[in-house]
Amino acid sequence: MVKILCLAALGLAALSQATKLHVNNGYITVDDAAVRSSIDVSPPVNIYARFDGSSNKEKAKPGCKLEGASWESSYGDIYFGEDNCLYDSKGQNINGQCCKPEGNLPEVKNPYYG
């Protein structure tokens, strides 16, 4: 019984581990959180980028969206590069995931606000 409980606890701990997403340039919004340097996240997430840095509004339209970004749970750190793509700690693009410009994106939390 004790072995089963210990294994279950280890499994829950592994599931709850988040990956640290670092932003290499500018600010982004991940789901509904403004990110200025890094944030702990668990996939999948929506990433919004290419904001007008001079906007002083609480909500703003992003220039691109990366919907449902995901990566292996073993990644401790990932990076949102200057080119608006996701990279692992070795500098390899993660499954070709990049923020794509889209026509009519909704307003989201402006990471430059405040």
Residues 25-81 pLDDT 10s: 999 999 999 999 999 999 999 999 999 999 889 999 999 999 999 999 999 999 999
**SS3 readout for the chain:** CHHHHHHHHHHHHHHHCCEEEEECCCCEEECCEEECCEEEECCCEEEEECCCCCCCCCEECCCEEEEEECCCCCCCEEEECCCCEEECCCCCEEEEEECEECCCCCCEECCCCC
Going from N- to C-terminal start, the domains of the chain cover 19-109
pLDDT at residue 2 tops 50: no
> Using 50, 70 and 90 to split pLDDT, how confident is the model at 16?
low
Q: What is the mean pLDDT of residues 79-98?
A: 97
Predicted model pTM = 0.84
